[in-house]
Amino acid sequence: MFHLFLHFAVPAVVVGLLYRHRWQLAYLLMMATMVVDLDHLLANPIYDASRCSIGFHPLHQPWFISLYVILCFIPKTRIIGLGLIIHMILDSVDCQTTNGVWIS
């Protein structure tokens, strides 16, 4: 549950630090990046608290994460890239705390 809370709180902090002048749009875009978790629907079971998302789900693969990093360097996609990278970092920290690994 704390992991889920972080998915809302960490982007809020980043938006507060970097995008204060247009925080509503920035926060909305960062929250929209959570659609990346729709790839969980392809897994069976859909939710498994002991499973590490990073390296398991299709949109949580390392080469996709590389793409998210590239998005951070393009001004028009930077907020989306940041949202996705924050998401992947939080998922990876969750892997570390639940399974002792950063990637499955």
> Which CB sits closer to Zn ion, 22 or 99?
99
* CB distance 18 to 11 below 8 Å: no
| Closest distance to Zn ion from the beta carbon of 4 (Å) | 10
Question: How far is Cα 95 from Cα 103, in angstroms, rounded to an integer?
Answer: 7
* Stretch 1-40 residues interacting with Zn ion (CB under 5 A): 37
Question: How far is Cα 63 from Cα 75, in angstroms, rounded to an integer?
Answer: 21
Mark 56-95 with x for binding to Zn ion (rule: CB under 5 A) and - for no binding: -----------------------------------x----
Which residue, among 47, 62, 73, 42, has the nearest Cα to 104 in the 3D structure? 62
> Which CB sits closer to Zn ion, 45 or 75?
45
> Which CB sits closer to Zn ion, 21 or 63?
63
Count of all residues that appear for the chain in the document: 104
Q: Hey, what amino acid is at 57?
A: H
User: Which of these segments, 8-16, 21-29, 45-53, 66-74, binds Zn ion (CB under 5 A)?
Assistant: 45-53
